[in-house]
Chains A and B, each alone.
Chain A
Amino acid sequence: MSETAGATWVGRSIRRVEDPALVTGRGRFTADLKADLSVRFVRSAVAAGTFADVVLPETMADGAQVFTARDLIDVKPIRSILHRPDYVIVPQPVLADGAVYFVGEPIAAVVAPTEEVAEDIADQVLVDVTPVDAVVDAVAALEPGARAVHAEAPRNVLVEGRFRTDGVTAAFAGAHAVVAIDLVSRRQNALPLEARAGHAAFDTATGRVTLTCTTQMPHLTRTVIADLLGMPELDLRVVAPDVGGGFGQKMSLAPEYVVLVWLARRLRRSVAWIEDRRENLMSSFHSRDQRLHLKGAFDASGKLLALDADVIVNVGAYSAYPMTCGVEPLMAMAEIPGPYDVQEYACIARGVTTNTCPMAPYRGVSRPVITFAIERLMDTAARQLAIDPVIIRDINLIDRFPYRSATGLLIDEGSYRRTLAIAAETIDVAAFRAEQARARLDGRFLGLGFSTFSERTAYGTSAFAARGMETTPGFEAVELVMDPSGTVEARIGTSPHGQGLRTTLAQIIADELGIRPDKIRVVHGDTDRTPYGWGTFASRSLVMSGGASKLAAERIKAKLLTIASQLFEVAEIDIAIEDGTACVVGTDRTLPVEVLARAAYHGVHKFMGKAAPGLVELATYDPNGTFSNACHVAVVEVDTATGRVEIKRFLVVEDAGTLINPMIVDGQVHGGVAQGIANALFEEIVYDSSGTIITTSLADFLVPTAAEIPSIEIRHLETTTDQSLTKAKGLGEGGVIGAPAAITNAISDALAPFGIAINEIPATPQRIRALIRAAEEARS
C-alpha cells in the first residue's frame, strides 16, 4: 500500500487546478474571443417616457447596422413569474418598445466592425423621448396619487407578502419592552471585476448558435433564450467560460444576451458585446435597496417574544429572470427571525416598482439586510434593557435541532451559541471594555459589535417551489465517466466562477473512488457537455454538485469492485480501492484501477451478467437545504471629527460543516467579509430625483482597496448534518451576510456616549458625522 493509505483528500488545502492557466494569463474570458462584429447598445438617457422613432445617423461606417424593437418583432418579452395572487407580471421587452422605464434601458443595438466604431455610431443615434416624471423612491411610489410606473400595477406594488402568526398581537401587548427601529439599506451593485459580456457565433454548417457569455446559469440561459426567440433549444449552445466574478449579478438573464443570439442568427456571423463599466454600474442589476421597520417584543430578561416587520424593497423597473422581483422581499419575510427562537412573527413585505434599474440577487440577497436589521434590533434592545449584547443573543439563539422557524424553515444542526461564545472569548470582551474606557478618556471612540446569523444554503426544489416560481430551480446533476484509461471526467450542472469547484469536487470524488484527484477532471459551463443543472448561486454548488458527485462516484466504485471481484476471484467485501490501486485486503494481490477500467470497456466478457459495460453514472441530488452559521465580531474606531471608521479587528467564527478544502473556505470568508465591509461603509448606487444615476464610474462607486480591508481572523467549527451527503454546508455568502451588522453594531457601540444608533448602510463618514453633530447640538 502507498504511504497515503488511509489518508483522505477531503479536508486538505491542496492547490487549485484552476490556477496555472489563470496566473499565466491563459484564462479564457468572454472578451478574449474574437468576433466578426461588435455590438453596442443605445441606452435610454431618460428614466421614464415614450418615444416614436429611433433616428439613425445619415451615414454610417461600412458594415454597420442598427436594430430596434421593430426588427425584433418576433422576440417574446421576458416574463419572470411567481404564482401568487398578489404578484403582478410586468413583461420586459428585450429592446425598449416605444417606452422607457429606467436610465440605461437598452433601446437599440448597433452592430459595427469594431467597438470604437459601434460606439461612435451609438452616440449619433437619436431617440426623442417624451419624458414623464420619474418615480424614483419606493416610499414615494407607494403614496396615493403616485404615478403608476407600469400600467399593470396601478399601486406600484409588484409583489406583496403577508405573514402573521396568531399570537403576535398578544405578545406585543404583554411585553415588558417593545423596541422599534427603522433601517435603510442603500442600493448596491455586486460589481464583479469582469463586467458582463456575450459572444454569439453562428455556425453556418449546422445552423446552431454558440453563446459564450458571463452567466452563472448556462443551462437555464439556453432554455429561456431559445424560448424567447422561438428557436429549437437544440440549436443553441451556451458556454460559460472563465467568468470574472458573478456574485449573483450574472445569474439573472440579461436582455442583451437575447439580442446577441438573435443578431447571430440574423446576420449569420459572430457578434460580441463587451459591457463597459459605466453600463455595468447603470444598467446591469442592482440589489438591496430596502427600508425596514422592525419591532421586537421582549420580556424583562431580554427574551424575544415576537417580531413585527414591514419591508419595502425598491425592485426597480422590471422583474429579473428567473428569481423575480419577489426574491428580496419574500426572502426577507421568510427569514427575518434569523437564528433566534421566536415563534410569534408578523411581516408585510412589498416589492415596489420605480423607474430605476431592475434589482436581482447579489451575494446573500436579502440576508445581509435582514441580518443588519435584526442584529441592530438586538443591540438596541440590549441597550434599552441594560443587558449585555452577548447575553441577549445567547438567551435567544436556537440550540435544539432541527428547529422549525415561525415561517416553516427547518434549521438543521448548528453551533449558534458556541460560535458566539468562542467569538466573545477570542475577542476578550472584558479587556476590550477596559481599553474602550481608557480610550474614551483620551477622546477616542472604540466600539465592539457582534452579529450572529444563519446562512441558508444548498436548498433544492422544494424550497424554490414554496416560492411559487414558474421556473423552479433546485436539483443538481453530475455525470461521472471513467474512461478505459482510468481517468475520470465529472460533468456538472453548476457553473463555478472562482469558487474552486474543479479542485474541491475532485477531492470529494477522489476519496469516494479511491483514486488521486489529478486523475479527475471537472467539466462545467458548456451546455453541450454537461447535464442540465441550475448553475452557481445561493451557496449551493459544493453541496449539490458534491452530493451528486458522491452518489455517482459510489455507483462507479461499486462497479469497479464488481469488476475487481471477478478479476481477483474473491468476494467484493475483501477488496479495497485506495490511491489508485485495488487490493485484496490482507494480501499483496493488487491491480491498478486502470486495469479495472480497461476491463469495463474492453473486457466486458470478464464480468458479463454481473454489471453493464462501461463506467458512466448520472446522479441527481435535490436536498432540502442546510444552514451554516457564524458569529462575526468587529472592533472599530470612529474619528468623531470626520465620521471616518477604521476597522481595527474583524473576527469570524464560522461553522459550515465539513471543510472540503480549508484554504478555499477561508478565501470565501475573506472575500465575503470584504464585500460586507464595502456594503457597510463604502458602496452605494445613487440616483437623483429625475431618475438619473449619479454613480457612473469607479470614482463615485467606491470599491474598497487593500488599504481599507483589514486582515480577517477566522475560526472554524465543523458541525455535521444529515442534510448534506458530503457533510459540507454552503458558505459562500456568509461573509457578506454578517459583516454589515457587526460593523454597524460596533459603530453604534463606539458612539454610545452620543446616544447614536447606526441604522443605515452604508454608514458613510458624512452620515456618521451628521449624527454626531446633531447629538452634540442637542446636548448644548
Chain B
Amino acid sequence: MTDKIAQTLPVTLPVTLAVNGTDYAISVEPRRLLVDAIREECGLTGTHIGCQHGVCGSCTVLVDGVPVRSCLMFAVQVAGRSIRTVEGLSDGETLHPLQRAFMDHHGLQCGFCTPGFLMLAAGALEENPDIDDAELTHILSSNLCRCTGYQNILKAVRAAAVEMKAGG
C-alpha cells in the first residue's frame, strides 16, 4: 500500500489537450488518466469508463487518428497530439456514417459502450477502408458490449464501411 498520501495541494503539471480541434489548457496531476481529463477537465463526458484496466474499451478515443484506450494513458502524455472523441465524430450537425449506421441497424441498446465502438471503428475504417468481415470481427473483438451480442454492431460497421468507401 502506498505510504504517501497527498497532504497538501498535489503537484500538477500544465498540459494543453487538443480535443476535437479545440485546445484545453489544463493543469493536472501526472497520475490523472487521459480519460478522466477528457471527461472532467475538458467536460466531454461522451467517453466512458467501464473497467479502468484496459479491457472493455469503453474509453477508446483516437490519438493522432489511432484508437487507444484512454484509461491506459496519462493526460500529461498527450501534449501536442490530436485527440478525437465521440463528440467530434460528427461534422457539425451532420452525423458520421457510423453514427447513422448504428441508429439504422440497432447497434446500441443502453449506449454505454457505443462511443468506444464508434471511435474504434472510425479509426479502423480510416486506416483500412477495404477491411473484410474477418478482419472487422477481429478489430471489433477489442471492445465489450453487454447488451447487443455484437451482431448489430458488426452489421452497422459493415454498412458504414460500404458508405464510407463510396465516399459517403
Residues of A at under 8 Å CB distance from B? 13, 15-16, 18-29, 31-32, 57, 59-62, 115-117, 120-121, 123-124, 191-195, 242-245, 247, 274, 276-277, 497-500, 663-664, 666-667, 670-675, 697-699, 703, 705-709, 711-712, 735
Contacts and interface: CB of A to CB of B under 8 A. Distances in A.
B104 A15 contact: yes
A23 B110 CA distance: 11
Nearest to B148: A671
B151 A194 contact: no
Contact of A709 (B44, B99, B151): B151
A535 B147 CA distance: 18
B146 A124 contact: no
A615 B138 CA distance: 54
A23 B118 contact: yes
Given A23-B95, A667-B109, A670-B151, A193 B56 contact: yes
Given A277-B53, A711-B151, A667 B106 contact: yes
B5 interface: yes
Contacts of B154: 706
B77 interface: no
Given A16-B106, A61-B7, A706-B141, 12 more contacts: A19-B111, A22-B108, A23-B102, A23-B111, A29-B45, A192-B110, A242-B112, A245-B110, A671-B146, A705-B143, A705-B144, A707-B141
B149 interface: yes
A116 B29 contact: yes
B104 A698 contact: no
Contact of B111 (A18, A672, A708): A18
B153 A706 contact: yes
A712 B147 CA distance: 14
Contact of A121 (B5, B48, B55, B118): B5
A120 B2 contact: yes
Contacts of B149: 670-674, 709, 712, 735
A19 B151 contact: no
Contact of A24 (B95, B106, B150): B95
Given A663-B106, A670-B151, A277 B144 contact: no
Contacts of B65: none
Contacts of B102: 19, 23
A697 B55 contact: yes
Interface in B98-154: 99, 102-104, 106, 108-115, 118, 137-138, 140-154
15 contacts: A15-B104, A19-B102, A29-B48, A61-B5, A242-B110, A243-B110, A245-B146, A276-B52, A670-B150, A699-B55, A703-B144, A705-B150, A706-B150, A706-B153, A709-B151
B147 A26 contact: no
B6 interface: yes
If over half of A's interface residues share one DSSP class (helix, strand or loop), that class is named, otherwise mixed; here it is loop
B7 A703 contact: no
Nearest to A674: B149
Contact of A277 (B7, B52, B111, B147): B52
A191 B145 CA distance: 10
A24 B138 CA distance: 25
A245 B1 contact: no
A277 B106 contact: no
B118 A707 contact: no
B116 to A, nearest CB: 9
B103 A706 contact: no
Nearest to A697: B53
Contacts of B150: 670, 674, 705-706, 709
Contacts of B141: 705-708
B7 A194 contact: no
Nearest to A714: B151
Given A16-B106, A117-B6, A121-B5, A698 B118 contact: no
A117 B29 CA distance: 11
Interface in B43-66: 44-53, 55-56, 58
A193 B50 contact: yes
Q: Which of A13, A242, A673, A705 has the most CB of B within 10 A?
A: A705
A708 B145 CA distance: 12
Contacts of A274: 49
